[in-house]
Amino acid sequence: MHPTLSIAIKAARRAGNTINRNANDVDRIRVEAKAANDFVTEVDRAAEAAIIETLLDAYPGHGILAEESGISAGNPDSEFQWIIDPLDGTTNFIHGFPQYAVSIALTKNGVLDQAVVYDPTRNELFTASKGAGATLNERRIRVSRRTKLAESLIATGFPFREFDHVDAYLAMFKDICQKTAGIRRPGSAALDLCYVACGRVDGFWEMGLSPWDMAAGALIIQEAGGLISDLAGESDYLKTGNVVAGTPKVFGQMLPIIQSHRPEGVTA
């Protein structure tokens, strides 16, 4: 195992322990609204602090991009940058809905290199190292073998921060819904991507995400044999916030449908 991946796993488990300790007392947790329908809790902040401390203890020269604190730790000029979401699925967490995860990715010169997504409620640890495959609890994973969109289960995420493109999204939803075996909306993009990687769902799309929502899951999908892109079919999803992913065959059938409803003025 790559040494940086080992440190990322250690950080993810520390954060997971913080989350689990508070999961049974969600009614007592202080919640703040960062924006409409976008929440942060003291648990998010404590989990993020544990992650940053663990990473910078091991790699003090690395940079950090984290959801709650932004680029506020480490070296912003480093060729190595950690992209962190301490609790992806905060809205689920504060409602006691057990679908959320810790997401940690490392980029080297802007290229995804290491990834960890940890689901503390199920003790499921998804990992990937560039060029070395993806695992779930140390067992290799691959995307499903499904090739037909009509037989596929697809995950998505509804717009929740901004609703500028909600009509376009609903058109995508209607079209995909009629051409698949079903759609699921669990509420954690990091886990949705990992579920594509391990074959629990066959594809995923969402708009308006942040880099920390999908950086780790993107590498895990790629290392599990799947495809992932922005709405233009290119690799700028971390910048655009729009993503389509799936098994190679399902991805190829989903992308044109999504593109046919792409909002005006949104190129990718």
Pair 194, 217: CB distance under 8 Å: yes
CA distance 219 to 92: 24
Q: Which residue has the higher pLDDT, 40 or 119?
A: 119
Q: Are residues 136 and 157 in the same domain?
A: no
In a domain, 39, yes or no: yes
pLDDT higher for 161 or 142?
Answer: 142
Considering the domain boundaries, does residue 267 fall inside one?
no
- Both 230 and 113 in one domain: the answer is no
Q: What's 41's domain CATH number?
A: 3.30.540.10
CA distance 175 to 99: 26
- Average the pLDDT over 215-228 and give the result: 98
- 35 confidence band (pLDDT: 50, 70, 90): low
Q: Of 4-13, 20-29, 152-161, 166-175, where does the model show the most confidence?
A: 4-13
Of the listed ranges 34-38, 91-95, 140-144, 259-263, the least confidently predicted one is 34-38
pLDDT for position 226: 98
| CATH number of the domain bearing residue 157 | 3.40.190.80
Over residues 249-262, mean pLDDT: 96
Residue 216, CB-side half-sphere exposure with 13 Å CA sphere: 35
The pLDDT tens digits of the residues spanning 224-253 come to 999 999 999 999 999 999 999 999 999 999
Query: What 8-state DSSP symbol labels residue 150?
Result: G
Rounded Cα distance between 168 and 175, Å, is 11
pLDDT at 140 over 90: yes
Contact 105, 213 (CB under 8 A): no
pLDDT per residue as tens digits for the range 40-77: 678 889 999 999 999 999 999 999 999 876 656 778 88
Phi and psi (nearest 5°) for 95?
A: -100, 0
Residue with tokens 């916030």: 241
Res. 105 pLDDT band, cuts 50 70 90: very high
- How many domains does one find in the chain? 2
Report whether pLDDT(260) > 60: yes
> What share of the chain in percent tops pLDDT 90?
77
Q: Which domain holds residue 43?
A: 3-140
Q: Which of 75, 203, 79 is nearest to 148 (CA)?
A: 203
In a domain, 266, yes or no: no
Question: Tell me, what's the pLDDT at 139?
Answer: 98
| pLDDT of the residue at 160 | 60
CA nearest 89: which of 116, 119, 115, 66? 119
Select from 93, 110, 140 the last residue of a domain: 140
Q: What is the mean pLDDT of the chain?
A: 92
119 and 98 part of one domain: yes
- The reply to whether 166 and 226 lie within a common domain is yes
Over residues 112-134, the mean pLDDT reads: 98
Asked if residue 30 has pLDDT above 80, the reply is no
**Residues 185 and 92 reside in one and the same domain:** no
> Within this chain, do residues 9 and 135 fall inside the same structural domain, yes or no?
yes
35-74: string of b/e by CB count within 10 Å (b at 16+)? Answer: eeeeebbebbbbbbbbbbebbbeebeebbbbbbbeeeebb
